[in-house]
Chain A
């Protein structure tokens, strides 16, 4: 009888759940499924940008050219087992690089296209004083490209998820690789073997 009462109360309790929303700090790390999440993206970007900015290529460039290097972020390929939106990762890297103040940053190919269209429009419609002339763009000295890879080892209820992010900074002038960075994340995900 007791067993039956417990089962019935569990059934009743499970039906009483309501939607609950709680606001949390955006920098707080919450792992739910073990998949790549915002924290992975942010922390990887921070670590890798800190690494790229601490390497000798930057001082070498400043001493040779006399001004800070101009960087553009190219494509970062998702070669993982997950549908990752690499745009958020690219944004995280761009933010870290710009905020460091150590490099100049230029708009992406898509953004440049939009800006050029706007500039053409200004040519036709803006006053002489406010018009921005074409041909004044800064060309990037370096392009940052990369890929995110995964290796997954799984059995019925346990998974080891290994992420490897490889970024390469390539000189636009001569295709030299001036920096190669690598960040690894390893997660052990244990799924419940039983459910109600």
Chain B
């Protein structure tokens, strides 16, 4: 559905993206996560042909993103936190304007979404609150049942109630569409995403199915007999190490239950207890980000 190869983008001397290669599988709910300024929006803008990459390629529906035509845009829905809608048109006025551009526009679905979001049809767009505007943008993006829905930081500035409404509306309509969602707020995408990609300082750290990621990355808490038994060096796959008395906590990025005890005992002497804790996406992201920054420093 979406593929990028060696995508780079420089703003003057500053590299916003560095050889980023990404693959969004068809039918997935793909979360592109990373801190603010990591390069998520840049990737999406390149994919939507809003800006052009300095080097590398980006393909959407198998078409070079620079060549995206109305034919492809009829199948793409795009919602961004700072999308500029024609403010002086009313909600209904803008929907009326958009409708003829999409042969697959579903008026019944449009009404259903409008109702769900309680959007006032006669209100001018610039009189809507930020949250309402984002809902409006989502209505404009969902009403023609796009094959690909691209959401760029859609939750920014939204209160939790609106977020829930937004996500519920999205989940209801998602069906078999592919969703690419960028966010720095991981709790929002955790229950929704099937795949996840981490971007840090313009680089893709990894991408994989969310389930595989949560299986692979686990927090380990090791209690030892005495404090001096804690190791001076640890494997590279152990990140975010914390030592409190005779307890060592770390994140194992290549976790496997198979001979876990033996592997840990080969690194640490006098192991008394090993505790494995599954991690939330937010915790995984925080640990990996922290570790990456630590390595860069």
Say whether A and B bind each other: no
